[in-house]
């Protein structure tokens, strides 16, 4: 029996149907939008995504999964991951997901096409509908090849770093911002005699005496301000020894500029300090020995003057009284004795002059070198006139020196040039020029010159290049020159060629005191 609807009821029913239709259309649109969002996420995910059915067969996958696997969609869809996919561990992870458990895999996977090895991380989960119906499984794949390569490179770099640090010849110490030691290498443990466990987490001050703790505090303040200048500090070893070191520090700041501590390279300088102390002792001993030798030479030469003068006087008296009254041999013997006594007097006087260099008249003061040169030339007036020597010079400086010793230096060098003259009259030229922080003087002559193989001998006391009868002198003049130059902190050397003259060069520092 049909039921009749009134107009009003029909109109209401139509309105209900319109509302249901609109609601269905909205739901369908929302479903389409949700599907579109899902597909967008699925296709553009940075992870590979795979959907398996209940048997482990791939139903769908995104593009990134294909890139990871190095395969085409045709080769992947329909592929059974349980029976033939990947390796045993990967198949087990897929089966665990199909059994309702969480499946994970991390390791190497060879691509379906066999031309690509990939380091993978995969997570497999069971997939169910809202009603609880089992739909298979879904997996997320991540290519971690670059990560593994970076980790391996980092591991190798770390290994190289540790090998370098642990085998370096210096100690290494790292402190945090609270001045607690966070790292030491094996070398520092050897230097201090402690194990790393005995050092770590201690303040560095635990291994220093009171004085060096003060040094450390000052340097710690400088580190906080960014200072990194090396400094010396002595550590106290486990056996109580003081270990002198040079610390080369580097402050550490984070990205915000906050101080995070410092690390320091610590060099044991015990051997260097011992060498310096030994050298200092040797220098002091040498200075004492030189002083004693100079004093001995002075006393010996001074005290020998009187007995030698007496011998010379009596020998000369014998010569005057008995010359021609005895036989020829007696006259010759007396002549030898007189000559020997005179030469001995000359040698003693020269030795006395050598021993007095730096001890007498060595006071440093402003000295006009041209005035000093004039004094030396005046002293050599007779020799200059006799040999018709010509002395010329360029502009000479004023400098801080001993005027008396500098005059003796000029006198000996010029006298030496006159003594060893050639066939032509002596031409002697003196010059000076400023080179850096010292004056370079040259004394050039046109004399006989000498073979340079004898250079090392000419500045040695009593060493002569010529026989006693050829040229007068004791061989001490150039030794005195060398001593005077070195007393002023300079150096002296010579250039010469046989038959073509000689040039003596010496330096005097611009500013210096007694050496």
**How far is residue 485's CA from residue 271's CA, in Å, rounded to a whole number?**
34
Asked if residue 471 has pLDDT above 60, the reply is no
Query: What percent of the chain clears pLDDT 70, i.e. is strictly above it?
Result: 75
| CB of 51 closer than 8 Å to CB of 136 | yes
Give the closest residue to 454 by CA, choosing from 465, 439, 469: 465
pLDDT at 429: 94
| CB of 249 closer than 8 Å to CB of 263 | yes
**How far is residue 122's CA from residue 135's CA, in Å, rounded to a whole number?**
19
| CB of 238 closer than 8 Å to CB of 195 | no
The two tokens of residue 491 are: 């150096």
3 state SS of 60: strand
Name the residue with tokens 């294909």.
66
Q: What is the pLDDT of residues 358-402, one digit of tens each?
A: 555 557 888 899 999 998 898 888 889 989 999 999 999 999 888
Average pLDDT value over all residues in the chain: 79
DSSP label of 57: B
The two tokens of residue 264 are: 């320091």
Give Cβ neighbours of residue 157 (< 8 Å, ≥ 6 apart): none
pLDDT at 392: 94
Asked if residue 463 has pLDDT above 80, the reply is no
Burial of 165 (C-beta count, 10 Å sphere; 0-12/13-18/19+): middle
pLDDT at 434: 92
CA dihedral sign of residues 306, 309, 314, 317: negative
Mean pLDDT of 339-356: 66
| CB of 80 closer than 8 Å to CB of 55 | yes
**How far is residue 493's CA from residue 485's CA, in Å, rounded to a whole number?**
10
The two tokens of residue 296 are: 């001995």
| CB of 237 closer than 8 Å to CB of 199 | no
Q: What is the pLDDT of residues 52-100, one digit of tens each?
A: 888 888 888 888 888 877 778 888 888 888 887 667 888 888 888 888 8
| CB of 487 closer than 8 Å to CB of 479 | no
Name the residue with tokens 């915000």.
256
Asked if residue 440 has pLDDT above 90, the reply is yes
Which residues on adjacent β-strands are paired with residue 117? 110
Q: What is the pLDDT of residues 96-143, one digit of tens each?
A: 888 888 888 877 766 555 556 777 788 888 888 777 788 888 888 888
CA dihedral sign of residues 311, 315, 321, 327: positive
186-190, 220-224, 286-290, 452-456: least confident range: 452-456
Burial of 478 (C-beta count, 10 Å sphere; 0-12/13-18/19+): buried
CA dihedral sign of residues 88, 93, 98, 100: positive
pLDDT at 388: 92
Give the closest residue to 206 by CA, choosing from 231, 228, 184: 184
First vs last C-alpha separation in the chain? 142
- Band (pLDDT 50/70/90 cuts) for residue 469 is very low
The two tokens of residue 425 are: 């009259």
Q: What are phi and psi of 218, to 5 degrees?
A: -60, -45
pLDDT at 320: 78
Which residues on adjacent β-strands are paired with residue 434? 439
Burial of 218 (C-beta count, 10 Å sphere; 0-12/13-18/19+): exposed
| CB of 78 closer than 8 Å to CB of 88 | no
Mean pLDDT of 258-265: 86
Q: How far is CA 9 from the centre of its chain?
A: 103
Q: Is 422 left (phi over 0), alpha (psi -120 to 50) or beta?
A: beta
Give Cβ neighbours of residue 314 (< 8 Å, ≥ 6 apart): none
Query: What percent of the chain clears pLDDT 90, i.e. is strictly above it?
Result: 15
- Band (pLDDT 50/70/90 cuts) for residue 162 is low
DSSP 139-182: EEEEE-HHHHHHHHHHHHHHHHHHHHHHHSSSEEEEEETTSBEE
pLDDT at 514: 38
Asked if residue 273 has pLDDT above 60, the reply is yes
pLDDT at 112: 52
DSSP 439-492: EEEEEE--S----GGGHHHHTSTT--SS-TTTS-S-S-HHHHHHHHHHHTT--E
Q: What is the pLDDT of residues 236-256, one digit of tens each?
A: 999 999 999 988 888 888 888
**How far is residue 178's CA from residue 318's CA, in Å, rounded to a whole number?**
96
pTM score of the predicted model: 0.42
């Amino acid at each position: 029996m049909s039921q009749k609807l009134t107009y009003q009821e029909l109109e209401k029913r139509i309105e209900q149907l319109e509302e249901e239709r609109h609601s269905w259309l909205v739901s369908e649109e929302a479903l389409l939008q949700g599907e579109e969002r899902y597909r967008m996420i699925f296709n553009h995910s940075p992870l590979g995504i795979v959907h398996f059915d209940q048997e482990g067969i791939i139903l769908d996958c995104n593009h990134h999964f294909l890139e990871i696997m190095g395969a085409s969609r045709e080769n992947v869809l329909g592929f059974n991951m349980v029976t033939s996919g990947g390796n045993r561990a990967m198949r087990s992870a897929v089966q665990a997901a199909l059994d309702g458990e969480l499946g994970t895999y991390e390791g190497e996977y060879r691509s379906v096409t066999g031309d690509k090895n990939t380091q993978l991380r995969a997570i497999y989960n069971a997939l169910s509908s809202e009603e609880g119906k089992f739909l298979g499984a879904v997996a997320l794949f991540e290519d971690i090849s670059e990560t593994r390569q970076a980790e391996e490179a980092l591991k190798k770099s770390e290994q190289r770093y540790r090998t370098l640090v642990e085998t370096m010849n210096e100690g290494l110490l790292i402190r945090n911002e609270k001045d607690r030691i966070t790292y030491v290498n094996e070398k520092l443990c050897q230097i201090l005699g402690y194990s790393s466990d005995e050092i770590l987490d201690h303040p560095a001050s635990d291994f220093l005496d009171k004085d060096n703790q003060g040094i450390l505090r000052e340097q710690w303040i400088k580190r906080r301000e960014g200072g990194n200048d090396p400094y010396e500090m002595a550590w106290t070893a486990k056996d109580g020894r003081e270990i002198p070191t040079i610390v080369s520090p580097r402050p550490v700041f984070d990205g915000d500029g906050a101080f995070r501590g410092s690390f320091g390279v610590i060099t044991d300088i015990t051997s260097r300090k011992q060498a310096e102390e030994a050298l200092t002792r040797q220098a002091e001993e040498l200075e004492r020995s030189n002083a004693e030798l100079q004093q001995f030479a002075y006393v010996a030469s001074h005290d020998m003057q009187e007995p030698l003068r007496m011998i010379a006087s009596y020998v000369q008296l014998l010569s005057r009284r008995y010359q021609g009254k005895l036989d020829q041999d007696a006259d010759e013997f007396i002549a030898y004795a007189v000559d020997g006594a005179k030469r001995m007097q000359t040698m003693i006087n020269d030795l006395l002059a050598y021993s007095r260099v730096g001890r007498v008249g060595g006071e440093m003061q402003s000295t006009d070198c041209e005035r000093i040169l004039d004094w030396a030339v005046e002293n050599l007036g007779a020799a200059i006139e006799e040999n018709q020597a010509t002395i010329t010079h360029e502009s000479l400086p004023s400098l801080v020196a001993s005027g008396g010793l500098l005059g003796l230096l000029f006198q000996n060098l010029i006298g030496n040039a006159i003594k060893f003259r050639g066939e032509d009259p002596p031409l002697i030229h003196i010059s000076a020029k400023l080179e850096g922080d010292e004056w370079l003087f040259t004394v050039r002559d046109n004399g006989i010159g000498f073979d340079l193989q004898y250079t090392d001998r000419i500045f040695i006391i009593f060493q002569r290049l010529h026989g006693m009868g050829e040229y007068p002198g004791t061989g001490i003049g150039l030794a005195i020159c060398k001593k005077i130059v070195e007393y002023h902190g300079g150096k002296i050397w010579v250039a010469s060629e046989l038959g073509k003259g000689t040039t003596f060069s010496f330096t005097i520092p611009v500013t210096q005191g007694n050496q």
